[in-house]
Each structure stands twice: as C-alpha cells, then as structure tokens.
Structure 1
Amino acid sequence: MKKLNYRLVIFILAALFGIAFTIPSFINKEPKINLGLDLQGGMYLVLGVKGDEAVKSKIKTIASTIKYITDKKELFIDNLKTKDNSVTFELIDKDDAAKLDKELKILKGVNIQKTPKNGSIEYKITLTPQEIIKTKDDALNQAIQTIRSRLDAFGLAEPTVTKQGKDKILVELPGIKTPKEQHSVQQLISTSAHLELYAVDEEHRALTPKDAEKYGDILLPSKDNPDRKYLLKTPPVLDGSMITDATVGFTQKTNQPAIFFTLNSQGAQIFGDFTGKNVGKRLAIVVDNKVYSAPTIQERIGGGSGQITVGSPEEAHVLAIALRSGSLPAPVMLLEKRSVGASLGADSIRQSLIALITGFIVVVVFMAWYYGTAGIVADIALIVNLFLIIAIMALFGATLTLPGMAGIVLTVGMAVDANVIINERIRELIREGKSIKVAIEGGYKNAMSAILDANITTLIAAIALFAYGTGTIKGFAITMAIGIMASMLTAILGTHGIWEYLLASGKKITPKSFGMKV
C-alpha cells in the first residue's frame, strides 16, 4: 500500500466512478444519458410570435387598470374603449382631473393626451414607441419561458426551447413520435390560455362585431357552439395574469371535468368586489376569446377562486397546465414542423458509434506502437476519460445529441494530446542523459504550461459556444468541455500516478518504454 500515491488513488477512484455511472446508460437504468432529438427521434417546431397581439393585450390590461382605479376612487368616466392600440375614455367631471392624473402615474411607458370637451375631459392613452418594442421583446422571452414551463409540467424529458432570430422560437422535443403525442404537445404549446372574466351586456343586442363596438362591447363565440354569441362589456373584469394555481377536478352537481383556479390577492379583491356589486347578473369566463360558460352571479364570491367546465379530462389536463404555467402574452403560429423518425436516430447512433470506435482503435493502436509502454499508459487514461464523460453526463441528466457524439469523437484525439506532449518532453530529457525518474518528473513539469494553455483556451471556446450557441451547438460544447476537464484529470494526474507507482514498485523502465530506440 505504501507504493500507492495520491495521484494513482484519485485516478482509481475516478475510474470506479466512471464505470459505476456509465453502466446504467447501457442497461437503460437511472441515472442515464438522455438522447437528443437527432438520436432518438421526435418533433422539431419553429414558432412565430405575434408581437402586435401582445401590444393589444397590454392596452386591454391598461384599460382594466383604469376601470379598477376609477371605480375604487369613485371617479366617474364614460365610453371606456380600446381601439387602434390606444385606450380612450371621458372623465365626466373635469374637476377630478388632478386626482385622476395622480392615480394614472402608476402607468409606465405611456403617453397621455387630454382634450377638454364641454365640462368633461377626453383622455387618450397610447404606448410609447420604446414601450411597444419592449412589449414585443418581452412577449417573445416570456413565451419561451412559458412554453418551457408547460413542457416540463407535461413530463417531457429534456425539451429544447430557444430563441431563433428576432421573433421566432425553436422547439425540439425528443421522444415525441406517435400522432397522438404530437397533437397533445402541439395543442399545449399553441394554446394561449389567456383567461379573462367579462361582464355580460344584457342591456343591448348586437349581431356583428361592429354593432358591439357601438356600445364599447365585444362579441365572442361560445366554445361549444360557435354560432352562439355573447355580448361582453369591455374591458375585462380581470385576466389570467392574476392566477396562482389551476387544478383538474370534477363538478359536484354534474360530475363534469373542470379546472379549479385560484387568484392572487389583487385578483381576489377585484373578483370579490365585482361579484358583490353585480349579484343577479352574468359573468362570462373566456379562454382564448371563447366563452366557456356565463353563469349568473348568485352571491358575492370571496376567496379568489372559480371553476371552468371543459369537455374531457384530457382537455382539462392540457388547459390546467397552460393556466398554471402562465398565458402566452401573444399567440404563437406554427411556421415549420418536422418529425425525426426513430430509425433515422438509430442510424445516426450507429454511424456515430462506428466513427467513435474506429477513431478510438486507431488512436489506441498508434499510441501503443509509437510510444510502447507509455502509449499503453496513455490508452488506459483514454479509456477512463471516456467513462468519465458518459458518467458525468448521465449524473447531471445531460442530453446527448449528434454534435455531442462528434464532440466525444473529437475528445478521443484531444485526450491523448497531453500525453503526446509529456512523452516528447520525457524523450528530450532522456536524450540529454537524464535518468528515467528525473526525465519523467521533468517531462510532466515542462509540459504542464503548454497543456494548460491549450486546454484552457479550448475550454473558453466551449463555454462561449454553450453561452451563445443553439441547442445542437450546446451539445457539442458540453461534451467537449467535460472531455477537456476529464482529460486533465486522467492524462496528467492519472498517468503521472501510474509512472510513480511503477517506479516505486521497482519495475524496469527503460527508454524503450517510451518508444525510443536504444
């Protein structure tokens, strides 16, 4: 045991760690490496985000805020409308203008125009150009986060959701193969899940959207019967941004599938105040501009909770996930859809393994032939290095893609690069007449700066690729970075420990051990 050194002990422990966490990937047990879209098949989607709709949604939110403020502060307004990306309304008593202006200071990124009109004041509120750009950018970024949250909640392993260009989203879904799975996921992604509660206008009649606009209302269809229209007062009482939770259940009376939602404190207060003042009137529950139900308010509803009845448990499951994850700030449209078959993925794995095994054998044989015993020591480090790459990726649940396989193949060559430099330094010292022990120690010492420079530079490049690259480039960067760090452990620390052990054991080491001709 005295012949063991700390370098060799660390190397042995690393080898055992690598083997222990590599085996589960080959017998399909956890923890294991997740295969990417290009290796196991799945769906590839490119989505576009309708930024203009996000601007309209923000305008509607501003209108709802104004309605809430004026009702709470008892400021009387009339003709509150949203049109052409603006909010317009009339303040009945111009003497309340100072009080209203103070309340409107909470609105950020807006221009407020005031026009006196026969004792009243007409307000027009629009977003600034900078706020419009920011709203569209925020909509794209929020859509990415929302879609990623939905896919995670749906139970998909390692979905990739990234920004592509200025207004597009790339979605890669490994393992989604059957038409049913594709339909469910596509529905989950595309559902805006924009929940709104509207007061039903039971005083007027409207047959067309233009008729509704005359009263400052909107006309929306029923979800179950598109021919049935509901005339709803704008702006909405509240929207889905105030939802904190949504769960699937069944109604007590009819045992229908339903979604039970909970509102935050602000939403609960608005909901309670509205229902308390409108007992006997109807409240429409609208999701993505379709009326799910319009029940009559029987009493004040406190606690900030409500329910939405749906057609099937599957629909309830998808919609509940969408509501919990947050509504999309703007609708998304499908620009491109591709399916990668499992057979194509299997073929990619087969060809990648052929490349990996071929490269591995060539490197191993060359090192043993050219450097002799030193080459075999380097080959041992190379094998442990491969085990470590797979083990670390499996441990952290990383996804292996086709570029990642290319990164592993590249690592095979890079892993022995350090030993090539070390062996050449040792050879130089032996030619100068140094003893084997001195030559080995000096070889590792002299080679260290060159090895560190090369590996650190490559590691920086890998970090940059991971930070700024897309999903496939990230896969290449991850495997390359792990391979570099693993090779630093195996090629420098591990092989050095092996040589120290051989020297301490009294093994005969000669220049031939380094492939030198005597």
Structure 2
Amino acid sequence: MGLLPGSRRDRQAALNQICRTLEKRALDMNGVVDPYAVVTPDEKILLELPGSSNPTRDATDICGSASLDFYYLKDVQTPRNPIARWKIEMLPGNSKAYLFVGSKGEKLDSSSAIDTPKVLKEVVGIPANKPILTGADLVPNAKASVEPRNGVIINIEFNEKGTQIFRDFTALHIGEIVAVFYNGKLLTAPTIRDKINDGKAQISGFKDLREAKLVTNLLNSGTIPVRLDVIGSKP
C-alpha cells in the first residue's frame, strides 16, 4: 500500500474510508455476499469476500484504479484538419484497436503495450495536452450492457459541470475526434457527429462484459487515494 499522509488519526480515517469503498466495490462482484474490510493494527487492510470463487482475482480487481480521461486529438487528421501529423484507422482484423500513422510513415498500435505510452505522448501530446474531462466529472451511475450493433458498452452521464464542458466542446469540434483512455489505454476514438446537450455518452472498446462491469463498478464507487497491492489470500 502506498503511504498516506497526516497523523495516525488522519491515516486511520482515510483507511476506514478505503474499507467502505472496497466493500461497495465488492458488492457488485459476482457471487460475493456481505463483503467486509477492516484495518489491521499495522495499517494493512483485511478484505473478506464470502462467496467469491476466485478471491485473489476479485481482490485484485476491487483494489484497482479507475482513471478515465477524455482527450481532444488535435493532431489527428480529419476533414476539418487535413494536414495534421497523424492519420487514424482501425487496426485490420481488430475492431477494438487503432493504428496511428505519422507523417514520416511511423506507426503506433493502440493495442500494443509498447506503443501505448507513445500514443499518449506523441499522438495525444501529454503532458502539455490536458484531458477535457475525467472520471471525476461523471455522475456515479455508469451502466454496462451489450448492444447488437455496438457490442459491449458503458453508458455514462456527466455531472452538471461536465455536461457544460462536453456540450461546449462537442459544439466547437464537430467532425473531429475525442479519445477515451482508461488507465492509460485507448478504448475508443469516435468522431463527434453533433453537439451533445444532455451530457450522456457511450464508451466502447472493452474486451468483454466482465471487464466493462468491473470498470463501471470502479467508476461508480469512487477513487482510492493510494495504490493497493494484494499481498496474500486464503480460501
């Protein structure tokens, strides 16, 4: 576990809040009944997952982070921006991955662990290019489902501030591309077709429904301020 700042009393309060978040996340895991998390005297967290068929996997999932970021791909070619450095296309044979081709012929595969940080740095332009929206701008009511046309998706809704930002952004950038990253991995990069007034959107790009449900669980339950590592488990 990462270090929490403050006095012992402050750390205890923060750890107790983390326990409640873990319990909330665990409630949405298949088969888990009455999850319980408690802080030990040495400031570790003991997590009980009654009913789990795979406690190590479920604990690892529950303790994960949930970073959702929306970026404007200003350096990717569109009809409105035909001389941008990068071209984007779906990766042949993989409907969930993108291929970026640079002006000098360089290629970046969004599904490659090696290329992923390069996509963020060279195509998105971080850290100079900041996300227009993040998971903090969402109402905690995300829902995962499967649609005949779009496959596995998550329906999201922005809060009041996020809705205004999204409305203004989509109005200004019709015909351009917004990219959605989850924990640094590109999920989807749709073209903006129209101004979006209601603050609602769909996110695709998940490998299966289980992954999408896990992401909704993490998004809806709130963030955890430190990294948590599973150091052991018992059946």
The 3 A distance-change label for structure 1 pair 164 and 291 is farther
The 3 A distance-change label for structure 1 pair 221 and 165 is farther
Report the counterpart of residue 283 of structure 1 in structure 2: 178
Counterpart residue identity of residue 35, structure 2 = P
Report the counterpart of residue 360 of structure 1 in structure 2: none
**Secondary structure at 1:333's aligned position in 2?**
coil
State whether residues 271 and 304 of structure 1, in contact with CA within 8 Å, keep that contact through their aligned partners in structure 2.
yes
Report the counterpart of residue 164 of structure 1 in structure 2: 40
Counterpart residue identity of residue 112, structure 2 = N
Larger Rg: 1 or 2?
1
- Structure 1 distance, partners of 2:225, 2:165, is 21
Using the TM superposition, give the Cα deviation of residue 190 of structure 1 relative to its aligned residue in structure 2, in angstroms.
2.8
Given the two structures, how large is their TM-score scaled by the length of structure 1? 0.33
Report the counterpart of residue 92 of structure 2 in structure 1: none
Counterpart residue identity of residue 262, structure 1 = E
Counterpart residue identity of residue 323, structure 1 = L
**Secondary structure at 1:332's aligned position in 2?**
coil
1:232 to 124, 147, 152: 124
Once the two structures are aligned, what percentage of the paired residues are identical? 28
Using the TM superposition, give the Cα deviation of residue 221 of structure 1 relative to its aligned residue in structure 2, in angstroms.
7.9
Counterpart residue identity of residue 172, structure 2 = K
2:233 to 338, 345, 351: 338
1:142-161 to 2 correspondence within 5 Å?
A: 142-154=17-29, 156-161=32-37
- Structure 1 distance, partners of 2:133, 2:33, is 35
- Structure 2 distance, partners of 1:142, 1:239, is 22
Counterpart residue identity of residue 232, structure 1 = V
The 3 A distance-change label for structure 1 pair 182 and 166 is closer
Q: Does 1:197 align with 2:92?
A: no
State whether residues 55 and 233 of structure 2, in contact with CA within 8 Å, keep that contact through their aligned partners in structure 1.
no
Question: Residues 408-436 of structure 1: CA distance to partner in whole angstroms, max 9, x if unpaired?
Answer: xxxxxxxxxxxxxxxxxxxxxxxxxxxxx
Using the TM superposition, give the Cα deviation of residue 139 of structure 1 relative to its aligned residue in structure 2, in angstroms.
6.0
**Secondary structure at 2:131's aligned position in 1?**
strand
The 3 A distance-change label for structure 1 pair 166 and 260 is farther
**Secondary structure at 1:260's aligned position in 2?**
strand
1:303 to 166, 178, 198: 198
Using the TM superposition, give the Cα deviation of residue 288 of structure 1 relative to its aligned residue in structure 2, in angstroms.
1.4
State whether residues 151 and 159 of structure 1, in contact with CA within 8 Å, keep that contact through their aligned partners in structure 2.
yes
Using the TM superposition, give the Cα deviation of residue 161 of structure 1 relative to its aligned residue in structure 2, in angstroms.
1.0
State whether residues 155 and 200 of structure 2, in contact with CA within 8 Å, keep that contact through their aligned partners in structure 1.
yes
- Structure 2 distance, partners of 1:144, 1:326, is 12
Using the TM superposition, give the Cα deviation of residue 292 of structure 1 relative to its aligned residue in structure 2, in angstroms.
0.8
Using the TM superposition, give the Cα deviation of residue 188 of structure 1 relative to its aligned residue in structure 2, in angstroms.
2.6
Question: Residues 8-40 of structure 1: CA distance to partner in whole angstroms, max 9, x if unpaired?
Answer: xxxxxxxxxxxxxxxxxxxxxxxxxxxxxxxxx
- Structure 1 distance, partners of 2:174, 2:3, is 38
- Structure 2 distance, partners of 1:200, 1:142, is 37
After superposition, the CA RMSD in angstroms is 2.9
Report the counterpart of residue 91 of structure 2 in structure 1: none
Using the TM superposition, give the Cα deviation of residue 141 of structure 1 relative to its aligned residue in structure 2, in angstroms.
4.7
State whether residues 199 and 232 of structure 1, in contact with CA within 8 Å, keep that contact through their aligned partners in structure 2.
yes
- Structure 2 distance, partners of 1:204, 1:142, is 46
The 3 A distance-change label for structure 1 pair 183 and 169 is closer
Question: Residues 133-175 of structure 1: CA distance to partner in whole angstroms, max 9, x if unpaired?
Answer: 49x9576454323211111232522222122357532212233
1:328 to 200, 209, 224: 224
Counterpart residue identity of residue 186, structure 1 = A
**Secondary structure at 1:257's aligned position in 2?**
strand
Report the counterpart of residue 208 of structure 1 in structure 2: none
The 3 A distance-change label for structure 1 pair 174 and 235 is same
Using the TM superposition, give the Cα deviation of residue 331 of structure 1 relative to its aligned residue in structure 2, in angstroms.
3.0
- Structure 2 distance, partners of 1:333, 1:167, is 13
- Structure 2 distance, partners of 1:199, 1:141, is 37
Counterpart residue identity of residue 72, structure 2 = A
Higher helix share: 1
- Structure 2 distance, partners of 1:261, 1:50, is 32
Report the counterpart of residue 185 of structure 1 in structure 2: 58
The 3 A distance-change label for structure 1 pair 204 and 313 is same
Counterpart residue identity of residue 246, structure 1 = A
- Structure 1 distance, partners of 2:175, 2:3, is 38
1:344-363 to 2 correspondence within 5 Å?
A: none
Paired positions, count? 192
State whether residues 179 and 190 of structure 2, in contact with CA within 8 Å, keep that contact through their aligned partners in structure 1.
yes
Report the counterpart of residue 164 of structure 2 in structure 1: 269
